[in-house]
Amino acid sequence: MSRLESKVAFITGAARGQGRSHAVRLAAEGADIVGIDICRQLDSVNYAMSTPDDLAETVRQVESRGGRMLGIEADVRDLDGMHAAVARGLREFGRLDIVLANAGVMTQSLPPHEKSRDAWRDGIDVLLTGVWHTLQATYQPLIDGARGGSIVITSSSQGLRPFFSDLSGGFDSYAAAKAGVIGLMRSYAATLAEWNIRVNSIHPTGVNTPMVVNEFFGEYMEKSNPKTAARVVNALPVELVEPIDVSEAVLYLVCESGRYVTGTCLPVDAGLVFAG
Ligand X SMILES: NC(=O)c1ccc[n+]([C@@H]2O[C@H](COP(=O)([O-])OP(=O)(O)OC[C@H]3O[C@@H](n4cnc5c(N)ncnc54)[C@H](O)[C@@H]3O)[C@@H](O)[C@H]2O)c1
Q: Is there binding between residue 103 and ligand X (CB under 6 A)?
A: yes
Contacts of 179 (CB under 8 A, 6+ apart): 155, 158, 159, 160, 162
Single out the segment in contact with ligand X by CB under 6 A; choices: 8-16, 63-71, 109-117, 231-239: 8-16
The DSSP code for 241 is: B
Q: Among residues 50 and 150, whose Cβ is nearest to ligand X?
A: 50
Q: For residue 146, which amino acid is it?
A: A
Which neighbouring-strand residues pair with 35? 11, 71
Q: Of 204, 143, 212, give the one whose Cα is nearest residue 171.
A: 212
Q: CA 152, 13, 22: angle at the middle one, nearest 5? A: 55
How long, in residues, is the chain?
276
Which member of 25, 27, 67, 75 binds ligand X (CB under 6 A)?
Answer: 75
Minimum distance from CB of 185 to ligand X (Å)? 13
d(CA 47, CA 16): 14
Distances 179 to 13, 132, 250 between C-alpha atoms, Å: 19, 13, 19
Per-residue contact track with ligand X, 149 to 168, x per CB under 6 A? -----x-x------------
Minimum distance from CB of 128 to ligand X (Å)? 11
Per-residue contact track with ligand X, 110 to 139, x per CB under 6 A? ----------------x---x---------
Q: Among residues 5 and 181, whose Cβ is nearest to ligand X?
A: 181
Q: Among residues 195 and 217, whose Cβ is nearest to ligand X?
A: 217
Minimum distance from CB of 248 to ligand X (Å)? 15
Minimum distance from CB of 256 to ligand X (Å)? 25
Q: Among residues 8 and 221, whose Cβ is nearest to ligand X?
A: 221
Which member of 90, 212, 232, 235 binds ligand X (CB under 6 A)?
Answer: 212
Q: Is there binding between residue 72 and ligand X (CB under 6 A)?
A: no
Give helix then strand counts, H and E, for the chain: 11, 7
Using the CB atoms, write b or e for 227-241: b if 16+ within 10 Å.
Answer: eebeebebeeeeebb
Residue 188 annotated among the catalytic residues of the structure: no
Minimum distance from CB of 231 to ligand X (Å)? 17
**Catalytic choice (174, 188, 252, 260):** 174
d(CA 268, CA 252): 12
Q: Which residues bind ligand X (CB under 6 A)?
A: 12-13, 15-19, 37-38, 49-50, 75-77, 102-105, 126, 130, 154, 156, 204, 206-207, 209-212
Catalytic residues: 174
